[in-house]
Amino acid sequence: MLVGEVSLYSSKSTREIDLSSDEAMGHGWHQVEPGSLRWTSGNAAIFLGSHLQNESRILSIEIAA
């Protein structure tokens, strides 16, 4: 699947996940494509961090293809 923008929303902030950052991306990702798109292998992980553990969050993932 080809992924575009990834955003993490909480009641206090919005955080854009940088798909070009290997720090945020776990296993299952291919190299970044032009236009900041990235293919998965079908089983990819995104590290969201633990800074909002006690707060509800919404993860938004744009599926480009």
Instruction: Report the alpha-carbon distance of residue 16 to residue 27 in Å, rounded.
Output: 19
> How many other CB atoms sit within 10 Å of the CB of residue 29?
18
Secondary structure string (H, E, C) spanning the chain: CEEEEEEEECCCCEEEECCCCCCCECCCEEEEECCCEEEECCCCCECCCCCCCCCCCEEEEEECC
5-62, pLDDT tens digit by residue? 999 998 888 989 888 887 778 889 998 888 889 999 989 988 877 666 777 889 999 9
Pairing of strands 37-40, 2-9: antiparallel
Which pTM does this prediction carry?
A: 0.80
